[in-house]
Amino acid sequence: MITRSHNTVFFGGAGVSTESGLKDYRSEDGLYNTVKKYKVSPETILSHSFFVAYPDVFYDFYYNYFLSSSAEPNSAHFALAKLEKEGKLNAVITQNIDGLHQRAGSKNVLELHGTIYRHYCPRCKKEMSFESVRSLCGGVPRCEKCGSVVRPDVVLYEEQLDERVIEAAVDAISSAELLIIGGTSLAVYPAAGFLHYFQGSNIVLINRGETQFDNKASLVFRDKIGDVLSKTVELIS
């Protein structure tokens, strides 16, 4: 399918990064079921209103689970980067904020939920470097120009996705011939909604568990996404 397709797009979720050792959100040993230190759920901590009210708790959590991570790209990230380089993949659309696709070499990456690699002042828009924020080890970063609390360029709960990113993702999906979906149960908005734009010929699903879209797929893998993608790339390169 990849060899025949003139326009292939990959759509990925947290499962792409779990093979790098990052916890996903909702599975049994995911973030939401294992983080008990903060008395409130990670979902609450990662909400807009909580960030505004308790930036100190937010940054403690954010540092421990995102910024201090030593996760490296895995074979899934590298396989996708190789496909793009060989002209066989047009875009990666990801729900992850860990920047691992770019670190593996992917260029056209649409980050629906933003990235931990960018931080800015909500008041005067001045950016703060990833290294500066990380060097505070969970302390609250403040804008050097106006003193406001700096925020990560990630979409928090209660916030809207970036319209330009949504548009680009819809464009990519609606013009794709082949859509490879990996590491997402497709249970959470907006993932499922995007698939309705697909008008191409084949959907391939790679996910450990069942999804509501299994019956729409031409091919379903229940295996590790890193294994599936790296073996596929080996076969066609």
- Closest contact distance (angstroms) between CB of 112 and Zn ion is 26
Nearer to Zn ion, 41 or 148 (CB): 148
CB atoms within 10 A of CB 235: 9
By CB under 5 A, residue 121 contacts Zn ion: yes
Residues 225, 16: Cα–Cα separation, whole Å = 7
- Closest contact distance (angstroms) between CB of 128 and Zn ion is 9
CA 156 to each of CA 80, 115, 229: distance values in angstroms, whole numbers, following the listed order: 27, 11, 30
Q: Is residue 113 annotated as part of the catalytic site, yes or no?
A: yes
The three-state secondary structure class of 214 is helix
Catalytic residue among 77, 113, 119, 196: 113
By CB under 5 A, residue 146 contacts Zn ion: yes
- Closest contact distance (angstroms) between CB of 123 and Zn ion is 5
Residues 198, 69: Cα–Cα separation, whole Å = 34
Q: Which of 46, 57, 143, 217 binds Zn ion (CB under 5 A)?
A: 143
Nearer to Zn ion, 147 or 190 (CB): 147
| Total residues at interface with Zn ion (CB under 5 A) | 8
Residues 50, 54: Cα–Cα separation, whole Å = 6
Nearer to Zn ion, 58 or 213 (CB): 58
By CB under 5 A, residue 132 contacts Zn ion: no
- Closest contact distance (angstroms) between CB of 147 and Zn ion is 7
Residues 179, 177: Cα–Cα separation, whole Å = 7
Q: Which of 6, 48, 85, 145 binds Zn ion (CB under 5 A)?
A: 145
Backbone angles phi, psi at 226, to 5 degrees: -60, -45
Nearer to Zn ion, 144 or 167 (CB): 144
Among candidate residues 66, 69, 58, 65, the one with its CA nearest the CA of residue 150: 58
Tokens of 189: 């908005």
By CB under 5 A, residue 144 contacts Zn ion: no
Task: Confirm if 156 and 51 have CB atoms less than 8 A apart.
Answer: yes
- Residues with a catalytic annotation lie at 113
Q: List contacts with Zn ion (CB under 5 A).
A: 121, 123-124, 126, 143, 145-146, 148
